[in-house]
Structure 1
Amino acid sequence: MGAHGEFTPRGVRSSAEYVALLRRLKEESGLTFRQLEERAAERGEVLARSTLAQALRQDTLPRAEVVVAFLRACGEDRDLGVWLEIWSRIGVDRPPNGAVEPRPRSAPALRGRSVIAAAMALALVTVAVAAYLLGRAGAETRRTDAQDGSTPRGTPGPTRQECRGEECKGRHPEPYGCFRDMRKLGSVDHQSGKLELFRSPSCQAIWAQAVHPRRTKVVAAYVRTDGGGTLYMAGDELLKDSVDPAGTLYTSMLPQKVPSYAKVCFTYETFEVCVDSDGDSLVKPMPMPSPSASRGL
């Protein structure tokens, strides 16, 4: 079952129900048509946003290749075979163009049309499944390369690396494409900049971003999740931004399979700032050591 397991097409019996489920999946993903197009392109697939928008406006079945590219862009790879099986069944059973099927002139003619339609549907499904398997093999190759830190074979650079869940633990979110669908969970402004908490549904991981226009020194940072995951980093261990390495810092990613509570805190020399996924935030001064304590008395 895919990332949105409740969107199984097993009970779907018509093209209208099938497309309605695709619409729900698109809404639940939170991705725009442009983002879906970009995610498909990163996999080497074509999913024009105008084509997808038109397909989801209608109640007729989209082409098989459109369905495959859309499902993969939404992260529904695991149930792809089920989606295509239902697509094939509906495509054979439905009247053409959604019209009422006219009474056949003869039984042999009806059987002939049914055989041809079934053969065409089977051919489309075969092509779609073959494309999916080839793409999946490529993705597994890139994922293996990403795990050992090497540059994926056949790609121009590290932006094509991928990770998911535990694979993302301790990694920088930028090179692994987790910025593509990141969602802001919380944000707080403070005297030296801004602290933000993000999650990527496709990477199934969270991380924090700190923007420091004044180049304020960070002493330490930690991120924790409701499931018990915790990440501690010293200030000099925080990750740099490729565009603004001096003013923007990131924590490593922490796996979070499903959205739940999370919190991040950054400690500076004179204050601490925290924000969580509920939108609550806190900025508090750090206690200054007394002169006697600094002298060891």
Structure 2
Amino acid sequence: MKSTGGSGGLEPAAAGDAVALVGLMQQLKDQSGLTYRQLEQRAAERGEVLARSTLADVLSRRTLPRAGLLAVFLRACGCGDGEVEAWLAARQGIEERAAAGDREPTDAGQAPEADEPPADGTLPGTPRPGPYRRRRVLLSGAAALVVLLLAIGIPLLTGDGTAPPEAAGQSPLPTGEVRIRPLRAPDLCVTDGRVLRARQYRTVAVQRPCAEAVPPQTHLIAAGAGRHRIQWTHRDRGKGCLVLLREPGLAGLLEPWDNCTAGGPAQLFRVEPAGGRAAAGGTAYRLRLIGDDADRCVAVGGGGPGATALARPCTGADDQKFLIGPG
């Protein structure tokens, strides 16, 4: 029978970084035998708040949890005052080392600008990335030239060697918060979701019922010359802009990065009127990538909730058409 109280022999002082501390938190939860819901209820019985969705996010990250949340979690697991103090001291030591020059991001917004790409996994104690990955990309000369051309408004050629239609940039797209709905399933919205790929869980673009798609809020952000970024804003996870992934096992997926320029052309889309039928009213649009990927469009890989959005060769089929309207 699993224990439901105390640190169970875990030594937080031995945690050398945020990844190790979060790993120990996961082990403590496992040893407690309590579900996320039960931990939430135990905290509520003490007059404290420990939302199970927030805790699940914390245990999937490689960043330090907030001190207050850590303390509430520990008490819900049955830790005494002395044990809570030991964990908080270990957290403080990691934070101080990070402030002194280590590269450990924290949930308190103390992440260094040049954060390395986080690795992730699914086993307790294994480092996993935050929902919106921190990524800094060194652009090649060719990619830098593409970004420069975009900045000064020189249109690029599409995959078929022709200039993209000017109508895309002139379409009366909504400003501010929007909903992006697959034409084939207008009751679903493109939003974030966790999927298992290459033995890792990643936060990527999926379709889910619109009633469950907020947060995050979705914004279509103009980037000049008829290009746009698709930006998500989450009250807990911050900002993330979709970027095309190319890694083996992940190629074609769209993942939010908190740096909305690091992805270069792979983070920009041309929003084109797609024509054809427009279910549920409005104009149907195609989301075309640019640069070397200008022959690829965003498509939804299946018809039901949870289906991933993928970059595929543009075909003009309905699975590559979306309704974009006010959020």
Tell whether the structures are fold-level matches, with TM greater than 0.5. Answer: no
Of structures 1 and 2, the larger Rg is shown by: 1
Q: Which has the higher helix share?
A: 1
TM range (shorter): 0.3 to 0.5
TM-score (norm 2): 0.29
Higher relative contact order (CA 8 A, sep 6+): 2
TM-score (norm 1): 0.32
